[in-house]
Amino acid sequence: MSYQLKHRETLSENLRRICRQQIEEAIAIAKGEKKPNDTPVHETRKHLKKTRAALRLVRKEIGRGLFKQQDRCLRDVGRLTSEIRDAEVRLQTVRQLQEVTQRHGRSTYGKLEAMLTLELENFIAAFAEWQTQAVPMVERAGSAVDHWTLDQFNCKQLCRAVQATYKQARKALAKATANPTAENFHAFRTKAKTLWYQLRILRPINPVVLKTLSDDLRSLGDLLGRAHDLSFLGERLRSEHGKSKWQREGHKLLAVIEVSQSDLQRGAAELAEHFFAERPRDFDSRVSSWLQGWEGKSSHSLAKALVT
C-alpha cells in the first residue's frame, strides 16, 4: 500500500512520497485521467484529506508559514467542491433512508428525492468548471513538498505529532459528550478521522495492533459520519419548512432523523470513550516503542542490502 511507511526510506522520504502520491491521485481524478470508485468530487476530496493528515505530521518541522500555505491551499480546493458534495450527501442519505422504509413497507420519499436530485444537478452545472481551478491549486501544493526541510526529522518528532492529534481528538470528544450538539460531534469526527489516517500511515510499525486501532476508528467514523449526514439533511429540511410541496414527507423524515441521529451519536460516544481512555502520554509511549523497533529493523535491512 502506498499510504504507509516503507522500509528502505527515511521518515522524511516516506512522508514526502505519501503526500506526493495523494496529490497525484487527486489531480488524476480531477482531470478525468483515473476512474474514481465514487464520485470525482468525493474521491478528490478524500485524497486531499489524506494529504492534509500526512502534512500535519511535519507541521513544526517544515515551518509554520509553509505548513499554513499548503494546508490552506488544500482546504480551499475542498471548498470549491463543497456545495456539490453537500448536495451529493443529502441525496445519498435520502436514498438510504428510502431503502430502509421500503423494506419495512412504510411510506417513501419520492418527492423529496426528486427535489434533491434536481438540486444536485443544478450545483453540478453551476460548478462545472471546478477542475480548472482545483488542479493548479493542488499542483502548487505538490510542488511545495520539494521545499520541505526534513533532513533531521526523526522518530521523536513523528510521535509527538501523532500524540498531538490524539490529544486534540480526545479533547474534542470531551466537548462533544459534555455538550452533544451536531457541531461538536462533527468537530470530533474531523479530529478522529485525521488520527485514523495517521495511524494508517504508521501501520507497518505494528501491523496487528494498529490494524485493530484503525478498524475501531473506522467504525467510529462510520457512526459519526452517518449521524452527521442525517443532521445535515435535517437542517436542509427545516430550512424549507412550509415552503415546499414535499413538506409532509419532510416532516415524517425529520422524526426518523432525530431518533436515528441520537442513537448513532450515543453509540459513537461509547466506542470513543473506550478508544480514548488511554492518556496521551501513554499512547505516545506505545507508538514510540513500536516506531523505534521498526526503525531498528529498517536500518538492519538497509545495511544488509548494501552489503549484499
Q: What is the pLDDT of residues 172-183, one digit of tens each?
A: 999 999 999 999
pLDDT of 308 higher than 50: no
Higher-confidence residue: 305 or 264?
264
- At 183 the pLDDT is 94
CA dist 234 and 262 (Å) reads 13
pLDDT of 195 higher than 50: yes
- At 184 the pLDDT is 95
- At 222 the pLDDT is 96
Say what percent of the chain tops pLDDT 70: 90
Say which residues have a Cβ less than 8 Å from residue 146's Cβ, sequence separation at least 6: 16
Q: What is the pLDDT of residues 229-260, one digit of tens each?
A: 999 888 888 876 655 555 666 777 888 888 88
Task: Decide if 304 contacts 249 (C-beta within 8 A).
Answer: no
Task: Decide if 268 contacts 224 (C-beta within 8 A).
Answer: yes
Return the exposure string of 10-40: e unless at least 16 CB atoms fall within 10 Å of the residue's CB, then b. Answer: ebbebbbbbbbbbbbbbbbbbeeeeebeebb
- At 151 the pLDDT is 82
Higher-confidence residue: 237 or 209?
209
pLDDT of 296 higher than 70: yes
The helix/strand count (H/E) of the chain reads as 12, 0
Q: What is the pLDDT of residues 129-162, one digit of tens each?
A: 999 999 999 999 999 998 888 888 999 999 999 9
- At 105 the pLDDT is 57
- At 152 the pLDDT is 85
123's grid cell: 450545483
DSSP-assigned letter for residue 38: S
Question: What confidence tier does 37 reach under pLDDT thresholds 50, 70, 90?
Answer: confident
Share the mean pLDDT of the chain: 89
Give the mean model confidence (pLDDT) for residues 280-300. Answer: 86
Question: What confidence tier does 300 reach under pLDDT thresholds 50, 70, 90?
Answer: very low
pLDDT of 303 higher than 60: no
Q: What is the pLDDT of residues 108-124, one digit of tens each?
A: 778 888 889 999 999 99
Could you give the dihedral angle defined by the CA atoms of residues 26, 30, 33 and 38, in that order, rounded to the nearest 10 degrees? Answer: 80
Question: What confidence tier does 102 reach under pLDDT thresholds 50, 70, 90?
Answer: low
Question: What confidence tier does 1 reach under pLDDT thresholds 50, 70, 90?
Answer: low
- At 244 the pLDDT is 59
